[in-house]
Amino acid sequence: MQVTFKDVTLSYDGKRDILKHLNFVIQEGSLVCLLGPSGGGKSTTLMLISGLLAPTHGQIYFGDTDVTKEDALGRKVGMVFQNYALYPHLTVQKNIEFPLKMAGLSRADRAKKAHELAALVHVDDQLDKKPGELSGGQQQRVAIARALAKEPSILLLDEPLSNLDARLRIEMREEIRRIQRETGVTTVFVTHDQDEAMHISDQIMVLHDGHIQQFSTPKTLYASPDNLFVAQFIGEPVINSVPASALSHDLAGVVSDDILSRAQTAGIRPEALTLPQRALDPLTTLHGKVIEFDQFGRESTAKLDYNDLQLISTEMGQLPHNTQELDFTLEKKGFFLFDADGKRIFGGDDHAE
């Protein structure tokens, strides 16, 4: 189901706005991540889609239908919670059947459907157990099966992987992706983990401070961040951000004076700093010192000093041990300039999609 927000605003006490004039369209059949730091409004947005929260202003559409006044049941959403919210006194099968029981399906139909879904999420061998006997990953699978049982118009996942350990998190995110592909259900996924979002989404909506910072594909988000916040939030290691003025000398002639004069902050992805001989699409050459150099297997990290500013690079390859001062290249790809409002005014590709 396509979800449309038209000018949606939410304030809890009528004073403080949690979400401000949200406008977006989530395409039918896609997997969208709501990403951002905590308190940014991502879970609130999810709650608004679910119908557990009602907007203060604005409209929400499912397809062409205005569902603003409908509750969760009326919107027919399926939801998976961070703590799974399974019913501890019911078996796995009864948990999956619960929405069907509420909908008045016959016992046989319920059992049939529950078996199908359990097979889909790979818990068909656990049907008679209680949730307390399952591992976290298995509980989350059951929660997904329960959410899918009613054949929801849209599947909502609220930080579904946060309670799992690192290894399981990676396994489960692949599973969610697989299940989403197999069922084709429009899915909205809330997370604060950019790595998770980048790996599974068709599109990512970065939310911060009650605003949509950017809503695009993971690739675009990384290659062309709309603003400094997105640039800093996406990417590991974090983008180098330095005052633009420090670079103005080296950028003169490369970047137009007009842009340079408006630029406040420069963002340099760690992979945009490389040695001249490895450069692909150089913008300019910088001169600096090596402070520290670490190598673990294939990955290397160099800490550079440039005009008394510290820069991190991951593309220095093998540096000789005694390297003190050196010239290094600033690549075009991965270099951005932001104005005083944090808006990107240089770099990236606005037509990447």
Partner 1 sequence: MKKAASVLRYVILTLGALIMILPFFWMLSTSLKTQPETVQIPPVWIPKQLQWGNYVEAFKAAPFARYFVNSVIVTTVTTVGQLFTSILAAFAFSKLHFWGRNLVFMIFLGTMMIPGEMLIIPNFVTLSNMHLVNTYGALILPWLASFFTVFTLRQTFNSVPDQTYYAAKIDGASDWRFLWHILVPMSKSTITAVTVLQVIGSWNAFMWPLIVTNDENMRTLPVGLQAFTTDAGTNYALLMAASTFVIIPMVIVYIFLQKYIIAGISNSGLKG
Partner 2 sequence: MLNEKPTVKSTIKGWLYLLPMLVITITFNIYPIIKSFLMSFYTKYDFYNDIVSAYGFSNFTYLWNDPDFHLAVRNTLVFVIGVVPLNIIISLAIALLLNKIKFLAGAFRTIYFLPFVTSTVAIAQVWNWIYHSDYGLLNYLLGLVGVNPINWLNDPKWAMPALIIMSIWKGLGFNIVLFLVGLNNINTRYYQAAEIDGANAWRQFTNVTLPLLSPITFLVTVNGVIGSFKVFDEIFALFQGSSGPSKSALTIVYYLYEKFYTEWKYGIAAASGVVLFFLILFVTLIQLWYSRKHVHY
CB-wise, 54 or 352, nearer to partner 2? 54
Shortest Å distance, C-beta 15 to partner 1 = 19
From 151, 158, 142, select the one nearest 183 (Cα to Cα): 151
Tell me which of 110, 113, 141, 146 binds partner 1, using CB under 8 A: 146
Tell me which of 25, 54, 340, 352 binds partner 2, using CB under 8 A: 54
| Stretch of residues binding partner 1 (CB under 8 A), selected from 88-96, 234-242, 264-272, 313-321 | 88-96
Site string for partner 1, 51-70 (x = CB under 8 A): -x------------------
User: Of partner 1, partner 2, none, which one sits near residue 200, judging by CB under 5 to 8 A according to partner kind?
Assistant: none
- Bridge partners (DSSP) listed for residue 315: 274
137 touches partner 1 (CB under 8 A): no
Tell me which of 71, 109, 133, 292 binds partner 1, using CB under 8 A: 71
Q: Where are the alpha helices (DSSP H) in the chain?
A: 42-50, 72-75, 92-102, 107-120, 136-149, 166-183, 194-200, 218-223, 228-233, 244-251, 257-262
User: Of partner 1, partner 2, none, which one sits near residue 10, judging by CB under 5 to 8 A according to partner kind?
Assistant: partner 2
Q: Are 93 and 128 in contact (CB under 8 A)?
A: yes
Shortest Å distance, C-beta 72 to partner 2 = 8
Tell me which of 41, 78, 225, 288 binds partner 1, using CB under 8 A: 78
Q: Are 110 and 123 in contact (CB under 8 A)?
A: no
CB atoms within 10 A of CB 235: 20
Tell me which of 36, 51, 225, 347 binds partner 2, using CB under 8 A: 51
CB atoms within 10 A of CB 26: 24
Cα–Cα distance measured from residue 250 to residue 110, given in angstroms and rounded to the nearest whole number:
69
Cα–Cα distance measured from residue 29 to residue 172, given in angstroms and rounded to the nearest whole number:
20
Shortest Å distance, C-beta 54 to partner 2 = 5
Tell me which of 60, 67, 77, 118 binds partner 1, using CB under 8 A: 77
Coil, helix or strand at residue 206: strand
CB-wise, 82 or 217, nearer to partner 1? 82
Tell me which of 6, 21, 28, 52 binds partner 2, using CB under 8 A: 52
89 CB-contact burial (10 Å; exposed 0-12 / middle 13-18 / buried 19+): exposed
162 touches partner 1 (CB under 8 A): no
242 touches partner 1 (CB under 8 A): no
Q: Are 19 and 208 in contact (CB under 8 A)?
A: no
Give pairs for 248-252: CB < 8 Å, separation 24+. Answer: 250/284, 250/285, 250/286, 250/330, 251/283, 251/284
- Bridge partners (DSSP) listed for residue 285: 329
Radius of gyration over alpha carbons of the chain, in Å?
A: 24
Tell me which of 7, 66, 69, 88 binds partner 1, using CB under 8 A: 88
Which residues make up the interface to partner 1 (CB under 8 A)?
50, 52, 71-73, 77-79, 81-83, 85, 87-90, 98-99, 102-103, 146-147, 150
